[in-house]
Structure 1
Amino acid sequence: MDKYGVGQDAYCYPGTTVLSNRLNIRDDTELFNAERDFSELAASQIGFSPPPYDLSYLQHLHRTLFEDVYAWAGTIRTLDISKGDTRFCNVNRIEPEAEKVFQAMARFGWYEGYAREALIIAIAESFGDLNMIHPFREGNGRAQRILFEHLILNAGFEVNWWCAQPQAWIDANIDAVVCNYSALERIFDRCIGPAIPE
């Protein structure tokens, strides 16, 4: 069983839990390190884009981050996945559920003009809901953080992801499965900085 609890799947080399990759790396740790290095370099080259945002934009971010590592970068997954006790969105519902989240953000004007406290609450809920969709086989968190970085910057606030610990992200997103966004709110309260001077 791989970390998503799906056992052997078409994304992995046969008989392993290692995701098939363009680098032909067959070791989980080596692939993790290469994926991190490639995606960090790619992330540093992604410029800010203003809204509107949608699933296609998230796919673009994912493709940019991971296209040197995975042939399926930016492609919606075709396999149902779970992590621990959390089962992510069924593959047949990814696109309509993502559309609901993006339409909600659009209705709220992409949170432009929100005070910091209101922004934290709104961002936490949207982040948690989109995380449950988990549209890609791997790399969802990194692509989603860039999307939300753009959202927060567009709303006029600084953001620093280094203020959150990895386990805190995991625990907060697990809480959000049952619509408890308080832990995500605490994370965003640390990560969202002051308003950007005009």
Structure 2
Amino acid sequence: MVLDNKLGLTNSAELARMEEQISKKAAAQLFDTGELFNFEVGTFKGLSQIHKVLFDDIYDFAGKIRHVNIAKDNFQFAPRIYLEQSLNYIDKLPHKTFDEIVDKYADMNVAHPFREGNGRSMRIWLDCMLRDSLQKVVDWNQIDKDDYFNAMVRSHVSTGELKYLLLNALTDDLGQAIFFKGVDASYYYEGYQLYKTEEL
């Protein structure tokens, strides 16, 4: 099944290629223009702003709450009928300490508010919280893909494993290069690896 898209593409591989190229370029511009640092930190509004910028040229649903139930590998994300309630709850959670930030990130992952592109936009959202409160970000290249996904699957029960991975990958390098490489690693987790963000 190919998601309806603004590009009129009906081939899943072609859509994936264009989605990677367009949204990575948008991510680079988000950082380079400083627009990213004007978004709300730690709220669904801020996350939806990130998602909209990344995917607005590709999907009509960019930045909008999904209207369908979704699952991945037999894990059911928050049911649509409870989604807005869940997001209101998450918005009120504190995000000042490392533990609070990761717990909030894990809760947002369970919510999975968008039809597509949740992980990629949420990892940028997580880094915004870490940057704002701790003056650090995650060096995503330090985290193995399988280790990350295993920790995320278990994070709805316990965030200990996820916290261990993230804590050991924190850096105080807040520059463009680490952001671009982080975007590339984040996309690699989801199977997108044709383009380098710095080259777009």
- TM category, shorter: 0.7 to 0.9
Question: Please, what is the CA RMSD of the aligned residues?
Answer: 1.9
Q: CA deviation at 1:22?
A: 1.1
2:41–2:125 contact (8 Å) kept in structure 1: no
Q: Which residue of 1 aligns with 2:116?
A: 138
How much has 1:156 moved relative to structure 2?
2.9
2:148 to 157, 169, 175: 169
Structure having greater relative contact order (Cα 8 Å, sep ≥ 6): 2
Task: Tell me, yes or no, if structure 1 residue 19 matches structure 2 residue 8.
Answer: no
* TM-score, structure 1 as length reference: 0.77
Match of 1:13 in 2: none
1:165 to partner: Cα distance = 2.8
In structure 2, the CA distance between the partners of 1:25 and 1:166, relative to structure 1 (3 Å rule), is: farther
Pairs aligned (count): 168
Q: Are the counterparts in 2 of residues 49 and 150 from structure 1 also a CA contact under 8 Å? A: no
Measured after TM superposition, the shift of residue 172 of structure 1 is 1.3
Q: 1:68: which partner in 2?
A: 57
* 1:122 has 2:100 as partner: yes
**Offset of 1:64 from its aligned partner?**
0.5
Partner of 1:5: none
SS at match of 2:93: helix
State the alpha-carbon separation in 1 of the partners of residues 7 and 145 from structure 2: 26
Q: Distance in 2 between matches of 1:155 and 1:170?
A: 25
Matches within 5 A, 1:145-160: 145-159=123-137, 160=139
Is 1:32 the counterpart of 2:10 in the alignment? no
Q: Partners in 2 of 1:183 and 1:75 — Cα distance? A: 30
Report the Cα offset of residue 52 of structure 1: 4.9
Of 46, 54, 79 in structure 1, the residue corresponding to residue 43 of structure 2 is 54
Q: Which moved more, 1:142-151 or 1:160-169?
A: 160-169
CA positional deviation for 1:65: 0.5
**Higher radius of gyration, 1 or 2:** 1
Structure 1 unpaired stretches of 5+: 1-16
TM-score, with structure 2 as normaliser: 0.76
- The runs of 4+ residues in structure 1 deviating greater than 4 Å are none
SS at match of 2:114: coil
More helix by share: 2
**Percent identity between the aligned chains?**
27
